[in-house]
């Protein structure tokens, strides 16, 4: 029986829950990106990970550049509003990173299937695009009721789901609010979960568009103030657009990236 999430330092949670070769999703759609947790994966030199994320942005550029990833499952890989992810781009262009590519709708439905305990999800999508030719996890399916041709995408087989939230209480009930993306599905769809939070409080109160993940579905909670920077945490800090722009230059040049990695 699990009655509450265990509250531990982030380094312990990553060491205990993430194994080399695992399939790991770090989610947060622009908001609440678990950057500190991603960088802890780099520090602990995790290897051969299948990394999952709808919008791999700079923390995935870092993970890929650091050599943690064997494969990437994703739907949009870029530095939002800035341009390319150069480590990601270099790895793909050099054939060093296996990719499994979807649309956002496809990825969102894969998370929904995982959280629902279903083998796949059904959607309208991909018809006429080139994606099914290159992505084996997109299949046509006939509706048993209407005969309509629809698309099936499989559940993500997540070993670990990692998200960042604004806060948790001392039992490990987690609360996040604002734009919460696919974070609920990431935790519910994974065998093990790590939630970093801005702060641990005595009691959670109402917030707009709040999602509460009850303590018994979360494996670990780790207090990491600023753990989503340079993305933002509504109610705590704004997105550091300057840092996103600055990453472009670091990531573009392998030597600069290596120096960044050394200093991490």
Partner 1 sequence: MTAYEADEMMTVEAARRLRDTTACFVGIGLPSTGANLARRTHNPDLVLVYEAGAIGAKPPSLPLSIGDGMLGETADTIASVPEIFNYWVQPGRIEIGFLGAAQLDRYANINTTVVGDYANPKVRLPGAGGAPEIAASCGEVVIIVRQSPRAFVEQVDFITSVGHGDGAGARERLGLRGKGPTKVITDLGILEPDPETRELTLTHLHPGVTAEQAREATGWDLKLADDLQTTEPPTEEELKALRELLAA
Q: How many angstroms separate the most distant Cα atoms in the chain? A: 58
Q: Give the residue with the Cβ less far from partner 1, 48 or 238.
A: 238
Minimum CB separation from partner 1 for residue 182, in Å?
Answer: 5
Burial per residue of 210-240, b for 16 or more beta-carbon CB atoms within 10 angstroms, e otherwise: ebbbebebbbbbbbbeebbbbbbbbebeebe
Minimum CB separation from partner 1 for residue 252, in Å?
Answer: 14
Strands of the chain (E only): list them.
Answer: 6-7, 23-26, 49-53, 69-74, 98-101, 120-123, 139-142, 149-154, 158-169, 174-176, 190-201, 211-213, 220-223
Q: Give the residue with the Cβ less far from partner 1, 81 or 119.
A: 81
Minimum CB separation from partner 1 for residue 16, in Å?
Answer: 29
Q: Give the residue with the Cβ less far from partner 1, 13 or 176.
A: 176
Q: Give the residue with the Cβ less far from partner 1, 112 or 224.
A: 112
Q: Give the residue with the Cβ less far from partner 1, 44 or 179.
A: 179
Nearest-angstrom CA–CA distance, 6 and 17 = 12
Q: Which long-range contacts (CB under 8 A, 24 or more apart) does 79-84 make?
A: 79/244, 79/247, 79/248, 79/251, 80/30, 80/55, 80/244, 81/241, 81/244, 82/244, 82/245, 82/247, 82/248, 83/248, 84/248
Residue recorded with tokens 């979807």? 102
Minimum CB separation from partner 1 for residue 199, in Å?
Answer: 18
Q: Give the residue with the Cβ less far from partner 1, 18 or 97.
A: 97
Minimum CB separation from partner 1 for residue 43, in Å?
Answer: 27
Which residues contact partner 1 by CB under 8 A?
29-31, 54-55, 74-78, 80-82, 84, 88-89, 92-93, 95, 101-105, 108-109, 111-112, 123-131, 134, 148-149, 178-182, 184-185, 208-209, 232, 234, 238-239, 241, 244
Minimum CB separation from partner 1 for residue 8, in Å?
Answer: 28
């Amino acid at each position: 029986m699990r009655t509450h999430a265990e509250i531990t330092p982030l380094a312990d949670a990553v060491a205990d829950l993430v194994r080399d070769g695992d399939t790991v999703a770090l989610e947060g759609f622009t908001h609440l990106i678990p950057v500190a947790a991603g960088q802890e994966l780099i520090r602990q030199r995790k290897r051969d990970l299948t990394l999952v994320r709808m919008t791999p942005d700079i923390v995935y550029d870092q993970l890929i550049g650091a050599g943690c990833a064997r494969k990437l499952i994703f739907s949009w890989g870029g530095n939002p509003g800035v341009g390319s992810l150069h480590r990601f781009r270099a790895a793909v262009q050099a054939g060093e990173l296996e990719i499994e590519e979807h649309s956002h709708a496809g990825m969102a439905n894969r998370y929904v299937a995982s959280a629902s305990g279903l083998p796949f999800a059904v959607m309208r999508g991909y018809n006429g695009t080139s994606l099914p030719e290159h992505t084996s996890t997109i299949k046509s399916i006939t509706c048993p009721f209407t005969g309509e041709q629809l698309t099936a995408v499989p559940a993500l087989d997540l070993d670990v789901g990692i998200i960042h939230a604004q806060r948790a209480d001392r039992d490990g009930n987690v609360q996040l609010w604002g734009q919460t993306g696919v974070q609920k599905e990431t935790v519910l769809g994974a065998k093990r979960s790590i939630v970093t939070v801005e702060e641990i409080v005595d009691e959670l109160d109402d917030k707009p568009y709040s999602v509460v993940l009850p303590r018994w579905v979360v494996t670990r909670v780790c207090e990491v103030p600023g753990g989503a920077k340079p993305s933002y945490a509504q109610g705590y800090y704004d997105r550091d657009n300057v840092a996103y722009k600055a990453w472009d230059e670091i990531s573009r040049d392998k030597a600069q990236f290596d120096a960044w990695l050394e200093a991490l």
